[in-house]
């Protein structure tokens, strides 16, 4: 099967709010698929529908080929979830939480104990296995929750903002673990409002805003979508009249910081020709020239503004 998740026109409303409004996307086997959007975009609602916590109003979704409405148990069998809010019991130990989760997923006791041990070691929690979760740091707790999500050795993992509110070190650790899981062939759907995280981890990103998907593509292609935001930074060794530069048809926007001009253009090539010609004609040297492609942040702002 090529697609591990297939979503068709999925919709969920709360009174007058359309939390998820006709969403379509497919997640390929073995990829880290990012669901990127601001707070309130509908990310959690989507994850909750796909993991069987809430029911869609309309639309269809398939998890590993199983229809989530018709075969919810089959669909759930091979997935793991790291929910937005912790599902660990704070009055139980790390070990007890893992065994309890294994039980919920129907993992046989012997397998469960072996897996719990392995996961605790892998997630650097083994020394604390019998301590109550109450005393855990946020990072330790999040590692435990990820371990719980993996107790049934799922093929597909949903993570809802797994690094939100974590310290830098814990975030890095979680991200490394996700990359390792991908190496092992797991498929991951990750929601985040962190652009850098999506950029670093994801093969493809869906940008979601106000319940609708604005774009789905690789981070690189998303950045190319907004051509006009290409930028040239240029420094001359003589004085340049900003007024003269702003008459260039290739320049959309012009800013100056220190002795550096920052020019926005939709045609990098023509602009470089034009400014080079211009400098030559004035007998002024170009001391630095940099081209910058738009950041994912700019793409995100542009796409969510349009929506
Ligand atoms: N149980 C609920 N009751 C009412 N409104 C909800 C509920 N869950 C989510 N919403 C609303 O749906 C929208 C999407 O929320 P959510 O899916 O949590 O967004 P995100 O995870 O992207 O921040 C928001 O406007 C939110 O207030
Ligand atoms: Mg959320």
Check residue 283 and give its pLDDT: 93
Return the domain boundaries, the chain.
Answer: 3-223, 227-306
Check residue 156 and give its pLDDT: 97
Residues 40, 307: Cα–Cα separation, whole Å: 14
b (16+ CB within 10 A) / e for 37-73: beeebbbbbbbbbbbbeeebeebebbbbebebeeeee
Protein residue with least CA distance to atom 2, ligand 1: 14
Protein residue with least CA distance to atom 20, ligand 1: 40
pLDDT value at 60 more than 80: yes
Number of H helices, E strands in the chain: 11, 14
- Which ligand does the CA of 54 lie closest to? 1
The domain 3-223: what is its CATH number?
3.40.50.300
* Pair type for strands 260-265 and 251-257: antiparallel
- Which ligand does the CA of 13 lie closest to? 1
**pLDDT averaged over the chain?**
91
Does domain 227-306 match CATH 1.10.8? Answer: no
Helix (H) or strand (E) holding 208: strand 204-209
Mean pLDDT (whole number) for 99-127: 94
Residues in the chain: 307
pLDDT tens column, 194-230:
888 998 999 999 999 999 999 999 988 887 776 556 8
Lowest mean pLDDT among 19-23, 92-96, 213-217: 213-217
Please tell me if the CB atom of residue 40 comes closer than 6 angstroms to any atom of ligand 1. Answer: yes
Q: How far is CA 173 from CA 71, 93, 184, 243, 288, in A?
A: 35, 22, 17, 51, 38
Please tell me if the CB atom of residue 37 comes closer than 6 angstroms to any atom of ligand 1. Answer: yes
Please tell me if the CB atom of residue 50 comes closer than 6 angstroms to any atom of ligand 1. Answer: no
Check residue 1 and give its pLDDT: 60
């Amino acid at each position: 099967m090529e697609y591990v998740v297939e979503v068709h026109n999925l919709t969920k409303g709360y009174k007058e709010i359309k939390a998820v409004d006709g969403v379509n996307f497919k997640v390929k086997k073995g990829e880290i698929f990012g669901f990127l959007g601001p707070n309130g975009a509908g990310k959690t609602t989507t994850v909750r529908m796909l993991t069987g916590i809430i029911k869609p109003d309309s639309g269809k979704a398939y998890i590993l080929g199983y229809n989530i409405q018709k075969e919810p148990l089959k669909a759930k069998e091979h997935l793991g979830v790291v929910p937005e809010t912790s599902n660990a019991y704070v009055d139980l130990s790390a070990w007890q939480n893992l065994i309890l989760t294994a039980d919920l997923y129907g993992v046989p006791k012997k397998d469960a104990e072996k897996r719990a041990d392995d996961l605790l070691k892998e997630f650097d929690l083994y020394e604390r296995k019998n301590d109550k979760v109450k005393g855990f740091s946020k990072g330790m707790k999040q590692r435990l929750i990820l371990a719980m999500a993996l107790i049934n050795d799922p093929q597909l993992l949903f993570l809802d903002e797994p690094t939100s509110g974590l310290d830098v070190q814990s975030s890095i650790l979680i991200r490394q673990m996700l990359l390792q899981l991908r190496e092992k062939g797991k498929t991951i759907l990750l929601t985040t409002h962190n652009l850098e995280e999506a950029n670093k981890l994801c093969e493809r990103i869906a940008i979601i805003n106000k319940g609708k998907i604005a774009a789905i593509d690789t981070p690189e292609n998303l950045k190319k979508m907004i051509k006009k935001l290409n930028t040239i930074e240029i420094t001359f060794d003589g004085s340049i009249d900003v007024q003269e530069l702003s008459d260039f048809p290739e320049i959309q926007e012009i800013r100056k910081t220190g002795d550096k001009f920052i020019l926005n253009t939709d045609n990098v090539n023509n602009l470089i020709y034009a400014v080079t010609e211009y400098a030559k004609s004035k007998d002024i040297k170009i001391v630095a020239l940099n081209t910058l492609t738009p950041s994912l942040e700019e793409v995100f702002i542009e796409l969510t503004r349009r929506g």
